[in-house]
Amino acid sequence: MLPTIENSEVFKKEYRMFSEKISLIQDENTKKELSGKLTELLKEVRYIDSQHKDTFNKNIASIVPESRTKLMELRRYLDKRLKEPS
């Protein structure tokens, strides 16, 4: 079985941290927005993991870097927003 980003300890820790911080937010609109971004982050991780599993996919070289960029942007967005006072 191939290792996955979703099952890595680093991602699990990061996801848990984001989730805990989001749960503490009082403003429901902000909480809903950030929960959506966290869900989007998980979808991107799962997409990248699925592409790595499909070693016969000839487009993987062009698809995955785009997802990795999106993943990085989502992490930065969540990190920045969760550091701001709500």
pLDDT score, position 79? 93
pTM score, whole prediction: 0.77
The reply to whether 5 falls in a domain is no
Domains held by the chain: number:
1
Please state, as a whole number, how many other Cβ atoms lie within 10 Å of the Cβ of residue 78: 21
The amino acid present at 81, given as its one-letter code, is R
Residue 64: domain span: 27-83
pLDDT tens, position by position, for the chain (86 residues)? Answer: 678 899 999 999 999 999 999 999 999 999 999 999 999 999 999 988 888 776 655 555 566 678 888 989 999 999 999 997 66
The reply to whether 13 falls in a domain is no
CA of residue 74 relative to chain centroid, distance: 6
Number of residues in the chain: 86
The reply to whether 36 falls in a domain is yes
The reply to whether 3 falls in a domain is no
The upper half-sphere exposure of residue 51, i.e. CA atoms within 13 Å in the direction of its Cβ, equals 18
Q: Are 38 and 22 spatial neighbours (Cβ–Cβ below 8 Å)?
A: yes
pLDDT score, position 22? 97
Q: Are 38 and 78 spatial neighbours (Cβ–Cβ below 8 Å)?
A: yes
